[in-house]
Homo-oligomer: A and B are copies of this chain.
Amino acid sequence: VRHLGSRLLIAIPGIALAVAVVWAGGVALAALLVVIAVLGLVELHSLTAAARPIRWAGDLCVVLWVVLPLFGSSPSRQLLLGAVACILVSAVGGLTARRREDVTLRVSVTVFGGLYLGLPLAMLMALREGPNGAAAVANVLVGTWAFDTFAYLGGRVWGRTPIAPRTSPNKTVEGAVIGLVGAVACVVLAGLYMDWISLVESIVLAIAICIAAFAGDLFESMLKRDAQVKDSGRILLGHGGILDRFDALLFSAPVAYLVTSWLVG
């Protein structure tokens, strides 16, 4: 295992920070999510630099979206306000751009970046602001990162059958199955100690999180492959960039938000 030392050097304080900030919630969590969103967008805008995203508009979209659930009585309405802001701010970005060549593409990649990073991180914020918020967010993180870890380790030991050779040649069916089983076990364990969700519900939630996490991971691999880079960035020593670390969460968080809101009501 390459870079194991530096990987742990980042992972352990990273997990501690995540636990503390998810526990604290509120402005502390919003601040961390804003940092992740903006740094992730820097990486995405560099992957899509050829299409010249409108950087200020993208930044404003994701920051607004993440911060909005802190205000107002209805988190879901705040999330919708963020979605409307994403298209309107990007449109104003296009209308006020000095260079108008290919402005439709510029607006499109700006909207895409806003939705890809802003919506999931805003949904994590909204989930934390809801009832049992800390437990609900912890569940998403546990499920996503357990899937990631078990799939990676399981794949290294028993992996034989490529599952998506074109996009991510190292991923295997065996790894994905072990990841799913491991993540379900972790989420069930976490869920059993928190009396807001039943055993069956926590299994449904964990399976949904795993499928989304898997798709999120593949999708980010596709973006990198398209841009012909190996890592989205180098900000997290040995863990690549922000997008490399949060790719699965960008799809699992919105799915978990929806499933949780159906389960809890």
Number of copies: 2
The complex places the Cα of A233 from the Cα of B20 at a distance, in Å, of 55
A153 within 8 A of B: no
- 1/0 per position for A233-258, CB-CB distance to B under 8 A? 00000000000000000010011011
The stretch that binds B, out of A35-43, A107-115, A171-179, A195-203, is A107-115
Q: Flag if B218 contacts A102 (CB, 8 Å).
A: no
Q: How far is the CB of A85 from chain B (nearest CB, A)?
A: 10
A156 within 8 A of B: no
Which residue of B88, B92, B116, B258 contacts A80 across the interface (Cβ within 8 Å)?
B258
Q: Does A132 contact B (CB under 8 A)?
A: no
Identify the stretch in A11-19, A136-144, A222-230 within 8 Å (CB) of chain B at 4 or more residues: A222-230
Chain B nearest CB: distance from A116 CB in Å? 6
Encode contact with B along A94-126: 1 for CB under 8 Å, 0 otherwise: 110000111111011101100110010001000
Q: Which residue of B lies closest to A261 (CB)?
A: B77
Tell me, rounded to whole Å, the shortest Cβ–Cβ distance linking A193 to chain B.
Answer: 28
CA distance A109 to B48 in the complex (A): 13
Q: A9 contacts the other chain (Cβ, under 8 Å)?
A: no
A72-90 contact mask (Cβ, 8 Å, vs B): 1 or 0 = 0010110111011011100
Q: Is A51 an interface residue (CB 8 A)?
A: yes
A residues contacting the other copy or chain, number (CB 8 A): 51
Give the residues in chain B near A76, CB-CB below 8 Å: 74, 76-77, 80
> In whole angstroms, what is the CA distance A79 to B81 when docked?
11
CB-based contact B115/A51 at 8 Å: no
Assembled-state Cα–Cα distance A235/B84 (Å): 28
| Residue contact B100 to A48, C-beta cutoff 8 Å | no
Contact yes or no, B83 A119, CB < 8 A: yes
| CB-defined contacts of A164 to chain B, threshold 8 Å | 95
